[in-house]
Structure 1
Amino acid sequence: MLSLIKLPRVFTINQVPKVFHEDSIISGYRHPRSSATDCILSLFQLTNETLNIWTHFLPTWYFLWKLVMVVLIQRAWQDSFTWPLLIFLFSCCIYPLTSSCAHTFSTMSARARHICFFFDYGALSFYSLGSAIVYSAYVFPDKWMNSLFHQYYIPIAVLNTVICTALACYSRLGFPFLQYNHDIMKRFPECQRPKFSKYMRVVAFAYPYLFDNIPLFYRVFFCVGEGCTDMNTNILHYYHITLALLTGFLFATHLPERLAPGSFDYIGHSHQLFHVCGILATHFQMEAVEQDMMIRRSWLREHSLPITFASSLGAALFCVVQNLIIIILFSLPLLSGPVCKEKKHNKGKKRSSAKVSPCC
């Protein structure tokens, strides 16, 4: 059936505008002015994005199944103790689905690419808050329960999600209210300083992860003796932490393709491995917090802070609203002027067969 459909053509790095370039990826690029139909058809051909899409799209259904099981079996809406798990599982569904959609439709235009990844960043920061909410409810070590840090943990995590989304979006376009000045538009970080933009995104997502995991790191690595919650669940937390650190390493280093540019364009490059390790880390994280919740349920109900709407569902809704506002603020300038201007080449080399404007 697919043999009867004309699949979109793929291009090399020299045939697409700079804004679409990926570090050490030489070939397999889709047309930078793809239609929505072309983007969907590209799911069924091998490009440098194909596995990026599927490695997040398929796990979405697994996490959705887990979410449905919690809603149907544990009757989450009737028991506030289950609300944090519900929010966490919802965030586990949202971030891979948003990522797969961003990778799918990011080649419709440079504007679409930026906006798609704005939503991707927002979904990741929401997942960060989901992790903080579920950690506050079930994972905190016994001796930290009801401490001052525990009381302010969720409010700080909410603030971190706003900072994370804003900083990640800024790394692509700079300050949105300056973008109406077309002279400023020539200085978009993503176009002019891609490495600096990447470092900013690493910081944007590493910071909330490290903060969210302070109670977990203390519990599994530093706490000894009474009140340290030393249970069999800790081995699952070790798996999650190891895979999460590997995920960050792959995202920051662009290995293995940096060692052999062009050799991992379609299969095995860092972003694919980053997706796989991230999903596996989320799986072990989910298994660990579910086990913590079940094993510690009676003790937590008696000793932990009460789970309220404000500390769970309310915080999640606030995060969604704030992230949408940030995404809108950063997206509006893209509709009023060119996205970026590439530097002119003095030797008069002709642009190759993609034949598209570098800005659009």
Structure 2
Amino acid sequence: PPPGQRLPSLKPPLRSVEAPRHQRKLGAQAVPDDFVECFILSGYRRLHCSAQECLASVLQPTNETLNFWTHFIPLLLFLSRFCRLLLLRGAGDVPFHHPALLPLWCYASGVLLTFAMSCTAHVFSCLSPRLRAAFFYLDYASISYYGFASTVAYSYYLLPGLSLLDAGAMSRYVHMACPIMLESLLFDLRTRNPTLFVYFYRRYCWLLVAAFFNVSKIPERIQPGLFDIVGHSHQLFHIFTFLSIYDQVHYVEDGLAAFLKAPPAAPTYLGTVGYMLLLMLCLAVPNDSSKFQKTN
């Protein structure tokens, strides 16, 4: 080239590199109102993702990522614990099919199903509005299943060991409704069963904290947009819910150990698994309230 003249650049012009469509995060104004969470301004996934895109999103920074992991990790922990109790004879010398373990099987299925359905709902909620509603209905139904399964475990492993629960002294309603709370209020539960006292009250402490975060929408209410990906209230709600169930497993396991030493009554399939199947049937029955409103 002539003196003073520069050679033309051989580098291609720079182009803006955009993320693939399924990795783009949307603001609250770009998604339907039903998908918007209070005070969460960004980090939303687009609607009508494929199943593969939903699964890939658990490794991407969205406002649902930690909602998944805060229940998936506890799911693995509880799965390991129940396998030890039921299959590896951690509950004693009884085999996994022994009738004494039927309430524990019911309880384990309730805990694992609750965490599994929550993971499923949070991962696949952006497939479509209809599927989102279906998944979260199953999520709420699994919570009802878990609550009933806890009652089955309580009735065999905990209630017989509480002195207050004398069928001749209490009505049937009180006998199933609030036995441990009554025992702890009217008697010195701390002296009689220190393990049950600590785990029972600490569990309800975790539940109160979880309810506080779930209702108050703190901390995102204080600083909207700052906690969209990490630290918002639903993630904290998941963590404290896990802690409450973790303590519950402790005193259910303690009650099981006492039950195996001197079982007052052998559990039956009808009184354990039968009731759980009946509950599942009731939850599966469709309830079209709109049709009822039209006819009335």
RMSD in angstroms over aligned alpha carbons?
2.7
Q: Which residue of 1 is the match for residue 284 of structure 2?
A: 324
Contact 2:195 2:251 in 1 (8 A): no
Determine the C-alpha separation between the residues in 2 that align with 1:331 and 1:64. 37
Determine the C-alpha separation between the residues in 2 that align with 1:277 and 1:78. 33
Instruction: Point out where structure 1 has 5 or more consecutive residues left out of the alignment.
Output: 157-210, 334-360
Q: Structure 1 148/109 Cα, relative in aligned 2: closer, same or farther at 3 Å?
A: farther
Contact 2:64 2:122 in 1 (8 A): yes
Instruction: Point out where structure 2 has 5 or more consecutive residues left out of the alignment.
Output: 1-18, 292-296
Contact 1:87 1:130 in 2 (8 A): yes
Tell me if 1:219 matches 2:197: no
Task: Using the TM superposition, give the Cα deviation of residue 268 of structure 1 relative to its aligned residue in structure 2, in angstroms.
Answer: 0.7
Secondary structure of the residue that 1:232 maps to in structure 2?
Answer: helix
Task: Using the TM superposition, give the Cα deviation of residue 153 of structure 1 relative to its aligned residue in structure 2, in angstroms.
Answer: 7.5
How big is each residue's C-alpha offset from its partner over 1:107-138, in whole Å with a ceiling of 9 and x where there is no partner?
A: 11111110110110111111111111111112
Tell me if 1:245 matches 2:208: yes
**Among residues 64, 70, 77, which one is paired with 1:55 in the alignment?**
70
Determine the C-alpha separation between the residues in 1 that align with 2:251 and 2:110. 16
Contact 2:204 2:244 in 1 (8 A): yes
Q: Structure 1 332/148 Cα, relative in aligned 2: closer, same or farther at 3 Å?
A: farther
Tell me if 1:81 matches 2:100: yes
Segments of 4+ moved more than 4 angstroms:
74-77, 147-154, 329-333
Task: Using the TM superposition, give the Cα deviation of residue 80 of structure 1 relative to its aligned residue in structure 2, in angstroms.
Answer: 2.0
Query: TM-score, with normalisation over the residues of structure 1?
Result: 0.67
Q: Which residue of 2 is the match for residue 65 of structure 1?
A: 80
Query: Higher mean Cα deviation, 121-130 or 145-154?
Result: 145-154
**Among residues 134, 140, 144, which one is paired with 2:165 in the alignment?**
144
Residues paired across the two proteins, number: 266
Contact 1:94 1:123 in 2 (8 A): yes
Determine the C-alpha separation between the residues in 1 that align with 2:289 and 2:109. 25
Q: Which residue of 2 is the match for residue 27 of structure 1?
A: 42
Determine the C-alpha separation between the residues in 2 that align with 1:118 and 1:149. 36
Determine the C-alpha separation between the residues in 2 that align with 1:70 and 1:278. 22
1:151-162 equivalence runs, <5 A = none
Q: Structure 1 34/244 Cα, relative in aligned 2: closer, same or farther at 3 Å?
A: same
Task: Using the TM superposition, give the Cα deviation of residue 64 of structure 1 relative to its aligned residue in structure 2, in angstroms.
Answer: 1.4
Task: Using the TM superposition, give the Cα deviation of residue 81 of structure 1 relative to its aligned residue in structure 2, in angstroms.
Answer: 2.2
Task: Please say which structure displays the higher CA radius of gyration.
Answer: 2
